Amino acid sequence: MVPKENQVFTLVEIFKKMILNQLIQLRQELHQTPEIAGEEGNTASKILSFFSKMGPDEVIENLGGFGLAFIFKGKTAGPRTLFRAELDALPIQESGNPSYKSKIDGKGHLCGHDGHMAIICGLGEKLAGQRPEKGELVLLFQPAEETGEGARRILEDPKFQRIKPDFAFALHNLPGFPLHQLVIRKDTFAAGSIGMTITLTGKTSHAAHPEAGINPANAIAQLIQTLPQLPEKLNGFALVTVIHAEIGSLAFGTSAGRGYLSLTIRAFDQEELDILIQRIEEKVKSISESEKLIFEISYREEFAVSQNDPEAATIAESTMKELGFDIYDKPEPFRWSEDFGLFSQSGPAYLFGLGSGENCPQLHEPTYDFPDELIETGVKLFEAIARKINQ
């Protein structure tokens, strides 16, 4: 007996619903077992298991750490297009109370990386059902996004040459914007940033005879006053934020001989960010020498500027319009940073936002939870972009 047309349509809809439910279930399982940067082994295993039924043409494991790449090949030569999700969670205690609340004390998927992973898994389901006509599609699961280490490790891994893309795409959910709204920007999407710690070493002495020592207090006071003013000499947006300062210890009989100052430095332009860092280093050197201090500078959590490529933007944004999405073209870049920025500094890339609701708790808040409704939206858009380039 041949099923009627409406019956076939119903079966298709039922199958789509089953797939979506599987993705929601996966997202909630990932939410329950978060792993922070550098510890994503079990998360990677869950993703690997989910993809095992899809039969990708090639799988690359341990990419830049616990990273994974799944490759779906077309019938003929063509461009290589990469879509990225993040594996890591945050070292923050979840205080919301979903039925799938984090089971790991002090850790939570409070940035939505669990949802981003589910979207890329959904894209994998689509590609498994229909391979691209040409080129290759790469689905990348990146470790250590939150610390700004993962992208660099992937790019420096020799295995990356196997998946180096002609185009790379990523999204990030954005609380405060209407659910399903797409937030776009040409040129700079998000700032680059870096954490700097300045260590100043002098000489301790008795507090009754501070002249016998070299106390870094005056130097740190000067740096706190002058460093945040350096961005004023640049053309574009830049910001130096003092986040921590420490001098000596709580010993009232001792004049301090060592001090620390930590800053976050950010800018919308990569060249200006580099210039600002150089000027800060010069100012630290100058003040340290005048105060007879030895200085050391260390860096961590380095994020490149997320720069959207014009051709990649045209492809993505034309697809968004064809699908009839609500689109908001943001007049200014975001001040926060994203590790995807390093991909954009190494090749054509495009990052955009996906609204997760105007009343959704902000990212990194302990009550945040990724809206499952966004999974289908993300899959639909990513698949359409993939088909446009590789069909």
Write out the binding residues.
Answer: 111, 113, 146, 172, 364
Residue 335 CA to residue 275 CA, distance in Å, equals 18
H/E run at residue 241: strand 238-247
**Beta-carbon-side half-sphere exposure of residue 223 (alpha carbons within 13 Å):** 35
Residue 73 CA to residue 133 CA, distance in Å, equals 8
**Beta-carbon-side half-sphere exposure of residue 171 (alpha carbons within 13 Å):** 31
In eight-state DSSP terms, residue 31 is H
CA distances to 67, 73, 140 from 85, rounded to whole Å, are 10, 19, 6
Pairing of strands 167-174, 349-355: parallel
SS3 (DSSP) at 167: strand
Residue 80 CA to residue 137 CA, distance in Å, equals 6
Pair of tokens at residue 10: 């119903």
Vertex 64: Cα angle to 120 and 276 (nearest 5)? 95
Nearest-Å Rg of the Cα atoms of the chain is 24
- 8 A C-beta contact, residue 86 and residue 150: yes
Residue 296 CA to residue 16 CA, distance in Å, equals 57
Query: Would you list which residues are annotated within the binding site for Mn(2+)?
Result: 111, 113, 146, 172, 364
Residue 101 CA to residue 33 CA, distance in Å, equals 9
In eight-state DSSP terms, residue 176 is T
Pair of tokens at residue 227: 């460093």
In eight-state DSSP terms, residue 361 is P
